[in-house]
Each structure stands twice: as C-alpha cells, then as structure tokens.
Amino acid sequence: MFTAPDMKAVRSISKWSYYLALLPITLGVCAWQGWAWWSWAQSPPALDGSPNSVVERAVQIQIPSGTGAQQIGNDLEAAGLIRSSQAWRLWTYWMRLHNREGGGYKAGTYKLSPTQSLPAIAEKIWAGEVMQLSFTIPEGWSLQQMATYFESLGYFKAQDFLTAASQIPKDQYPWLPNGLPHLEGFLYPDTYQLSSDRVSPQQIIQQMLNRFEQVALPVYQQGQKQTKLNLAQWVILASIVEKEAVIPAERPRIAGVFVARLRRGMRLETDPTVEYGLGIRQTVEQPLTLAQVRTPSPYNTYLNPGLPPTPIASPGLASLKAALYPENTDYLFFVARYDGTHFFSKTIEAHKAAQAAIRQQVEAQQKASP
C-alpha cells in the first residue's frame, strides 16, 4: 500500500511524464510554424493570390555604395520584392556563415522581379549581377547625335559626353591619328551591352573605341596597300560615303566618284559636309540654300579643296570597305533621286540636266500632294 509521500511522488512523476509527452508535440508545432513562416517569408511576393498582390513586373533597384545589408532588406520589402526584412536578416546571416572567405552585397542597379524568391534575389545582389544596359548607335550618327541620345536615355548630360569625346586617349589607343580635335568617326556604330554600375561617358567611349579597334582597324591594316589614304583620311572619306549612300550597292561607286575627283584636283562638293559644318540637316522640303552652300566653313567642300579636317559621322563597316576599295569609275558627279538611289554622270552638263529633271519631279509631286 502506497503511503502519502509515495502517492505524491507518483503524481509528480505523472506530471513530468505528461510534460515530456507534450514536449515533442510542442516542438513539432513550433517547428512546423517556423517552417511555414519561413516558406511564406522567402517565397516570391507575386505568388500571393490576394487581390492586393504585387504586380508581376521587373523593378529597378539601386543600391548605393556603402548601403548596409539590413537597409537593403528594408528597401526590398518596401518595393514589394521580398515579404519580410526579418527573413532577409536571417538569410544574410546564413550566407555569411557559408561565405567565410568574405564578400557581401554589391552596390549597383539591379533588375529584380517579385516572381523571384528571397534567396534568389539575395544571391543575385551578393554576386553583383547588376543590370545590363543596352544601347545602339546607328551608322552615320555624329557625336552630337550620340550625346543627345545618351542624355535622352538618362545616362548623363550631352555636354559631358562631348567633353569626354574631345579627350584623345593616345596612351590607350596609339593608333589614333595625331592632331584629332575630337573622336568623331572613330566611335564605332553598333549595339553595346554595359553594366549599369559602369555608366559614364568615358566607359562608353572606351567600349566604342575598342570595337573600332577590333572591327574597323584590321580592315585598314589589311588593305592599306590598296590606297594612298592614311587612317584619318580613310575614316573621313568613309564618313562622307556613309552620309551620302542609302543603297548598299552604291557605296563603292560613290566612293569611286570622290576618289576620282580628288585625283583630278576637283572639290568634292558634297552636301553632308556643309550640313555638318553648319549643324543643320536638309530635307526634301527644305534643301540647302545657295547662301548656306556659300557659307565659309572648314567643312564646306564646295569652297575648300580636298577632304574636310575630320570625319563628319561614324561610318559603318560597308562604308569603310567602300572607301578602301572604291569602284574604278569615270563618273564624276551624282545627284540624289530622293528614293535612296542616285543618278551618276560623267560630265557637268549631264549632271546639271539630271539635277533639273529631279527638281522638276520633286516640285510636281509637291504640287500634286494635298
């Protein structure tokens, strides 16, 4: 028979057995709740099916240099890219434990999406996978057009680009001709990718000079025995061909006309050089006036013999090749038909007749149009 003290001991043991029995259940519930919370906290916000869910779209986030890890988490949460800044703190701690060699979140502009999980976003910023920018410079653009374009993209001010393009990096690119006042013609027209953390006039100019060095310079080096033009003259001539030609098949012939005129000591008399010197652009409705053609300018090839002092645009590969391998032709003149093609003539009389015929055609079309 149990005495009173024995009964008290039995009750105490029973109570502890009860608590011990509840412990695994309690721990299991806590673990399940913790896992449920973590599963929710690290999942993409866009997976939320509520009416107020984040719109599935890419978001640009800029992380300035020196921003702390928790501030990044706060910013991501405010932007709707992660669910919990506290979960971000835990995951950051976990990443630091597994990256004992160092490292951390990198500054820059990132393109992130609410369809990405918290770990995926963290890995991207930790690895410094900044957003890549893309820009395209068409063939025939001038430095001024490029500057205006970059400013319209919000990269930097147009004047900053023009200032940078007036600095000639001969130490990095010794092949650049001596005496250049700016880099007109040597910034190769193409499509470029650029890391968003490296957007500056100098970086873009370096990319474009590198492309010229890779694509254009070998063309000249391989064919320079075929021409009497030095590198600067080659690019100048190619830039004029670029501005005159529309139909690819006409480029070698247009180049041939210019080379033939230069050999005979004739002025080039090409409109794009006048336009460049005056900073204007003629149209079918507003062609160059006689006063503009007679306006003195270092670039006016109606008044000045030979080539202009610098290129007038960035020529593409086809125009560069045409200037290096021009057509051997007896044509000395050409006039635009305003449909992309040109009428070529061997004599001034035939040239003037073609000009008059095209002028009459344009005037007739303008009168016929409502």
DSSP secondary structure letter of residue 187: S
pLDDT at 91 over 60: yes
Share of the chain above pLDDT 90, in %: 56
**92-114 pLDDT, tens digit each:** 888 888 775 667 888 888 889 89
Structure confidence by residue, pLDDT tens digits, 41-87: 788 887 665 444 444 577 888 888 888 989 999 999 998 898 888 88
The residue to which tokens 């509840």 are assigned? 22
Give the pair of three-digit tokens for residue 124: 């991207």
pLDDT at 46: 77
The rounded distance, in Å, linking the Cα atoms of 286 and 263 is 32
* DSSP H or E run through 102: none
pTM, to two decimals: 0.77
Output 4 or 65, whichever has higher pLDDT.
Answer: 65
Distance in angstroms (rounded) separating the CA atoms of residues 361 and 355: 10
Region 324-338 average pLDDT: 94
Which burial class, exposed, middle or buried, applies to 345 when counting CB atoms under 10 A from its CB (0-12, 13-18, 19+)?
Answer: buried
- Higher pLDDT, residue 182 or 14: 182
Residue 209: per-residue pLDDT: 98
What span, in angstroms and rounded, lies between the C-alpha atoms of 353 and 229? Answer: 33
Report in angstroms the alpha-carbon separations of 28 from 33, 34, 38, 40, 41: 8, 10, 15, 18, 19
What is the band of 285 on the pLDDT scale with cuts at 50, 70, 90? confident
- The rounded mean pLDDT for the chain is 87
Residue 3 has pLDDT above 60, yes or no: no
Q: Where are the domains of the chain?
A: 59-130, 133-222, 230-368
176 has pLDDT over 50: yes
Looking at the structure, give the CATH architecture of the domain made up of residues 59-130: 2-Layer Sandwich (3.30)
Confidence (pLDDT) at 22: 53
Between residues 144 and 55, which one has the greater pLDDT? 144
Give the mean pLDDT of 213-221: 97
Greater confidence, 26 or 352?
352
Say which residue, 369 or 307, is predicted with more confidence.
307
Tell me the mean pLDDT in the region 343-354: 95
Name the token pair of 256: 């041939």
Q: Look at residue 240 in the predicted model and tell me its pLDDT.
A: 98
Average pLDDT estimate for 216-228:
94
User: Per-residue pLDDT averaged across 282-308, rounded?
Assistant: 94
